[in-house]
Structure 1
């Protein structure tokens, strides 16, 4: 299942059910799991591990040295889980020593063409990155997040679960879970109601998140906002996650860009 025109280092560890297309190059420290398909003209190098049943399309580059001037050739890693789709010309760098040494993607992610995922990014499960979305280093993204085409994410930003960015959004702050963001620089425009409804969230949970968004994102008095959502976060786990994410933010969160009262 390995095309004779591919170049596979004999030290690479490949399951018997891995397929590799013509002119692809697989380095000596690469491990690839059962059922994974590597298309033509793909380069996989460094300490890179791919789990089971991934699909990598042509011209992708996985596990190359990070684009970081501090990197001096230290042994760092890239890890992909299972059932990920990596489309044409995607670039995913391995980590840096000062960033923890690991870039990681979970399971069931759909990474569209020309996406760049930089060093030390940590990506959850079931995420969708549309064409040409780009993550700078050290970005953390939780499960089920969706990035619109040409989204740009500043280094060290966090994006919460079930968040959604529109085409061309540029984030330089954290985007709370369940939230929609749009614009350059991105502004929060509300809760991702349609996406949450499609994923089976109850109407009551969505309404509770809408109220939490009002108290904590649209307000300039967050102290009172945290007090106002005490009962909601005890009743709804989604609101607790929303509140916890905001409390733990180091960069500050994406705001609406307008002044609102708490009424």
Structure 2
């Protein structure tokens, strides 16, 4: 059963979904906007219903972006699916342990990692601007991507969640030496895999507010398609700027949750 909300609230949620889809398609991190918007707009709903609705919306924009990247960019679909399946398993494990973990303990650690990432990207202007030369990916690097970008970040997604798409992009650039555009496209495919598993779980539990999710999903899909096309058209330099903005926003959001909430 969906809550009785005003048209103004629904419109604001749809605008948040549109912007979140765009951010997710370019570099990940749209949940920084969409999930807080749902929490504010649906204060009477249980956390599981908010999370389930968020996943139902997010998967539409992520899927649209993934198809846009697959049509226009040169992606290794096999690699993306291998990492995606590992991320699916990791997210299921993370969700299993989530109830016993105090996220407030993990936020300072995550912020420290993000600040290190921010410093690295700022000090390395060439980071992700071009793919590394060379032949096929070595087994060692592929194993690192499956374990790190797949299981590791998938586990984080199930455990806490914010910034998962951004972490995926960074991991793919660092481990597989992709350029930022290719990493963003690959990350979308991985995100689709993790979102499917989460959405099935929430759907079975009856924790998705479909009447609210449907109009938001349309807006999220439009935002995802537009964001993917902009990233492909403008290239890695544009993605790098958005990446920096999202990382700073994530640090601020986690800091507020930790000390200002």
Q: Which has the higher contact order (CA 8 A, sep 6+)?
A: 2
Name the TM-score class by shorter chain: under 0.3
Q: Which has the larger radius of gyration?
A: 1
Structure ranking higher in strand proportion: 1
TM-score by length of 1: 0.23
TM-score by length of 2: 0.23
Structure ranking higher in helix proportion: 2
